[in-house]
Structure 1
Amino acid sequence: MTTEPHVESRTEQPYASIRTTAPLSEWGRVNALVPEVLEWLTARGTTPVGAPFYRYHAVDPAGLIDVEVGWPVQDPVEGDGRVAAGARPAGDYAVLVHLGHPDRIRETFAALDGWSTRTGTGFAVRDGVWAGRFETYLTHPDEVSDLGEWRTEVAYLLSTE
């Protein structure tokens, strides 16, 4: 894992996703949404333009995580109730790539939080939720079966205030 993030300017990126809440003990249910959204896109003739991601909105005091699971697409799609259209907000992001088992990704979250504290750079929060906190899976599980070798990008939208 690289311990220092870099800042990237990113444009708005449309996506299709399913939003849910779950504790870590039910994360298998969250992970199952990755192929569900992909199947939904495929059934509509839409091909993703990047890797699957999780967009975190909030974690409540009881440990329920509010998360979207989705895929980026070239052009906006129209949702159907279960699958929704969304967009990654444009802006500057602190980006850090986690190398290793996804169960250890909290180490990368902690590195980003530490960087934020050291540099005085805040992360964007709107109406009490993260405005842009993304975890993108760069490694395809069919190509790399050893979870210890997976690469996962963590990107947090920076505050403009």
Structure 2
Amino acid sequence: MEIIEPPQVVTLPERHYAGIRTVTPFKGMFQVRDRLMKDLHARFERGDTFFRLHVIDMAGEMDVEVGVVTDAAVAPDGPVRPGVLPAGDYATMTFIGHGRRANGTLLEWIRGHGLAMDCVENPAGDRFGCRYELYRTDPRTERMKTRWQTQLGIRLDS
């Protein structure tokens, strides 16, 4: 893993998006993500693509969403729904390479700095106010996921 931007706290504005949300087991989750990305990119040619993790239960079900940032709210269209990445303070880090290690690095940094995440811990899965992987490299033009520049973002408790 190569860190492009080290962990830091940034204040981000509210961002509208169009998204497709689903529940899937952790195993096979990234194939589901890739399929949802293709569906979304068939409808939206522009906009930053991201993968949002609403509820994380790596031993059970993951509540996830693929989205494309838009200039304004969109009308619902089949599985595509409007959404908002909420404004607030986020712990962020940008990397190239292995996402699991990068997520671990950011989580360790958050805990090491005594920061509280906007997260409700639960045996059925940790429910995040907003946690995402935003792909700074356009997945439509770079097929090699290990080359993607990815920004992790976890909203902090205010």
Q: State whether TM-score is above 0.5.
A: yes
Does the 8 Å CA contact 1:123/1:157 hold for their aligned counterparts? yes
TM-score, normalised to structure 1, is 0.83
Query: What is the alpha-carbon distance in structure 2 between the residues aligned to residue 87 and residue 142 of structure 1?
Result: 23
**1:109-148, aligned counterparts within 5 Å?**
109-125=103-119, 129-141=127-139, 143-148=141-146
The structure-2 alpha-carbon separation of the partners of 1:61 and 1:134, relative to structure 1 and needing over 3 Å to count, comes to: closer
Q: Which runs of 5+ in 2 are unaligned?
A: none
Q: Which runs of 5+ in 1 are unaligned?
A: 42-46
1:88 and 2:85 correspond? yes
**1:54-73, aligned counterparts within 5 Å?**
54-60=51-57, 62-73=59-70
| CA deviation string 1:122-161 (max 9, x = no partner) | 111259610010101111345445443321110110111x
Query: What is the alpha-carbon distance in structure 2 between the residues aligned to residue 10 and residue 55 of structure 1?
Result: 16
- Residue 37 of structure 1 aligns to a residue whose secondary structure is helix
Query: What is the alpha-carbon distance in structure 1 between the residues aligned to residue 14 and residue 41 of structure 2?
Result: 20
Partner of 2:153: 155
- Residue 71 of structure 1 aligns to a residue whose secondary structure is strand
The structure-2 alpha-carbon separation of the partners of 1:39 and 1:141, relative to structure 1 and needing over 3 Å to count, comes to: closer
Number of positions where the alignment pairs a residue of Structure 1 with one of Structure 2: 151
Query: What is the alpha-carbon distance in structure 2 between the residues aligned to residue 147 and residue 78 of structure 1?
Result: 30
Partner of 1:22: 24
TM-score, normalised to structure 2, is 0.84
- Where is the strand percentage greater, Structure 1 or Structure 2? 2
Query: What is the alpha-carbon distance in structure 2 between the residues aligned to residue 69 and residue 147 of structure 1?
Result: 15
Query: What is the alpha-carbon distance in structure 2 between the residues aligned to residue 87 and residue 147 of structure 1?
Result: 25
Query: What is the alpha-carbon distance in structure 2 between the residues aligned to residue 156 and residue 11 of structure 1?
Result: 14
- Aligned-pair CA distance for 1:107: 0.8
58-67 or 26-35: which moved more?
A: 58-67
126-135 or 111-120: which moved more?
A: 126-135
107-116 or 10-19: which moved more?
A: 107-116
- Residue 25 of structure 1 aligns to a residue whose secondary structure is coil
| CA deviation string 1:13-71 (max 9, x = no partner) | 00000001122332312211112112234xxxxx53x3210110112363321101010
The structure-2 alpha-carbon separation of the partners of 1:139 and 1:32, relative to structure 1 and needing over 3 Å to count, comes to: same
Letter in 2 for 1:95: T
**1:93-108, aligned counterparts within 5 Å?**
93-100=90-97, 104-108=98-102
Question: Structure 1 stretches (4+) deviating beyond 3 angstroms?
Answer: 141-148
